[in-house]
Amino acid sequence: KRRRSSITAEAVEESSEHKRPSSSSPPSSSKSSTNDKHDYSNIEYAIVQNTPDSTPTNLVRLIGLKSLFAKQLPKMPKEYIARLVFDRRHKSLALLSDDPSCKGGDEEIIGGICYRAYPEMRFAEIAFCAVSASQQVKGYGTKLMNLVKRHAVTEGIEYFITYADNYAIGYFKKQGFSKTISMPKGRFHGLIKDYDGGTIMECYIHPSIDYTRIPEMLRIQREFLLDRIRLTAKSHTEEGKYPPLDYKKFREEMDVKLEGVKKGEEAAHRAMAIPGVKEAGWTFNDLMASTGGQKDVDRQKNHMKSEMLTIIRKTEEQAFSWPFREPVDTSEVKDYLEIIKDPIDLSTIERRIRKGDWYKNMQMLQVDMLRMVKNCKMYNDSTSPYYDCAVALEKYLVALFT
């Protein structure tokens, strides 16, 4: 095992109460405050990498990043930090101070994330993540992660993966990371190793989301919903006001009315009996959908989705699955779509599963997976290695779904 537990709570401390800025280095003045943690307009950052044509500015910033990581990650060997930061396969996103007196020095770097991308596998491993002690509890940890996610989309990265110590797990959960690894193991197995004292965590990077605009998007959606509610709401009129509910009397009356009613429908009946609920436009079916019955349905759907993703992940880990992991490149195989009218592959199936409403049951998933076998056998000669993989996959699927 390699020795690295590179992400610590102290290095990326957010607005949680786990740790205050160090008393030996009090917070410096900054334009950012607790009121503008979602504002990126005043954020300066740069993508830096040690390349043969690196500019002096880039090299100075790399040195600043190395110093930041060494200071905020004291348990990490300085030589190890320097080796990764200056490794030409690693990139870093550096948050830059807007203080003119800090330009060109270590103090210019107020935060950074160092990562290594694996373009062929469409994921990246975060090696180091830190924010200067004097700039913590200002939202820079979240901004740093959102900026690197936005940049990752331009590189075609689908997943970030990292190892965090136990104190940093909370931070990464806030940033959308999970201990549940949904990325197929075959994509990262052999490229990264287990690290002592660390917990592996993963974050899916959605290609159509601008992560720096999430608060803005939520605010717009909230305003839209409130505007729609105001069109029919009567809470601001005398008609829409009701006297306080005498709960004891209400409960006694409902206990009598609910005799003989199915237990799963009691909550919806009680809600419908509250003055104003029906007048607000709620129906019995609406309330049933928001109570226990629908929650059980949602739980079943999530369970089935999890099982389907597990099937895909296990299939991708098989040695014979390599021809089926990605769509056939029709720019190279010119006549493929002339012969195969309904192409399918594991990555397409995975996207459909994540969408949530494509596969209604396991049989539908089985049909799509067996269609991969059928397509492969139809297009390829029986003596080809592709055909052999299709035969092996078919046997595997029969056993898997039996």
> Which residues does 14 contact at the CB level (< 8 Å), separation at least 6?
136, 137, 139, 141, 142, 171, 174
Q: Are 32 and 149 in contact (CB under 8 A)?
A: no
Token pair 């689908």 in the structure block, residue? 158
Q: Are 61 and 109 in contact (CB under 8 A)?
A: yes
Which value, in Å, is the radius of gyration of the alpha carbons in the chain? 27
The DSSP code sequence of 22-58 is: PTTSPPPP-S--TT-TT--TT-EEEEE---TT--HHH
Report which residue type is found at 215. Answer: P
Q: Are 316 and 186 in contact (CB under 8 A)?
A: yes
Q: Which of 125, 158, 316, 394 is catalytic?
A: 125
* Residue 314, SS3 per DSSP: helix
Report which residue type is found at 289. Answer: A
Q: 8: closest CA among 99, 109, 141, 122? A: 141
Q: How far apart are CA 139 and CA 305, in angstroms?
A: 34
Q: How far apart are CA 391 and CA 385, in angstroms?
A: 10
- Nearest 10 degrees: Cα torsion 115, 119, 120, 125: 10
The DSSP code sequence of 110-174 is: EEEEEEEEETTTTEEEEEEEEE-GGG-SSSHHHHHHHHHHHHHHHTT--EEEEEE-TTTHHHHHH
Report which residue type is found at 198. Answer: G
Instruction: Tell me, yes or no, if 125 is annotated catalytic.
Output: yes
Indicate which residues carry an active-site annotation: 125
